[in-house]
Amino acid sequence: MDLDALAAMAAADETHRYELSADGALSIMPAGDPERALTVSRLVCWLMDQGLSPEQVVISCAIKVAAGARVPDVTVWAKGKPPRSVQSGYAATDGLLQIVEVVAPGTEAFDQVARRGEYAAAGILRYWIVEEDGTVLRHALDVRGRQYVPDPAGPLPLADLLSSGPDAFDDVVGV
């Protein structure tokens, strides 16, 4: 399957997310439940409170990763480098600095392994996973090894993240 076929399937079905792994495996997932949608909304508001613009904080932006395509929950782009379509409506990762995935029931391993590896290989600097219990696992890219390393501060409760002020996470401010 190629990205054109994937895009056509996704366009015909707005109630599901369609993704294609680098090895060609097709994933079809529900668009998301209200709890996940609220978590995504809260994260977007928090990121914008950090000084990021709507062109930098984008939800459900389909991106081309290696030979496949993913639809992360939240993407953070460099200032002046918003997402740009490169093939069949999928954005290139040039300028993509951070991805946040909000885990849905049954996707834990997928978010921890498959997506994590693909995003690291694409050179995306930060990858956050919000687990079902509200724990935020923050990872930074080790550019030498092209793999993510956990934040030395460890996991963070989502409530603590969302209640923090603009100076709490310098790695996000000024992106």
Read off the pLDDT band of 150 (50, 70, 90): very high
Instruction: Please check whether residue 17 lies inside any domain of the structure.
Output: no
On whether residue 45 sits in a domain, the answer given is yes
List the domain range (segments joined by +) for residue 52: 32-163
Question: Is 97 within the bounds of a domain?
Answer: yes
Mean pLDDT of 44-49: 94
CATH of the domain at 37: 3.90.1570.10
- Number of domains making up the chain: 1
Q: Is residue 26 part of a domain?
A: no
Q: Is residue 110 part of a domain?
A: yes
> How do residues 17-43 score in pLDDT, each as one tens digit?
788 887 888 888 777 788 989 999 999
pLDDT of residue 174: 35
Query: pLDDT tier at 173 (50, 70, 90 boundaries)?
Result: very low
pLDDT digits (tens, 9 = 90+) for 68-115: 899 999 999 999 999 999 988 899 999 999 999 998 877 776 677 778
What's the CA gap between 39 and 123, in Å, rounded? 25
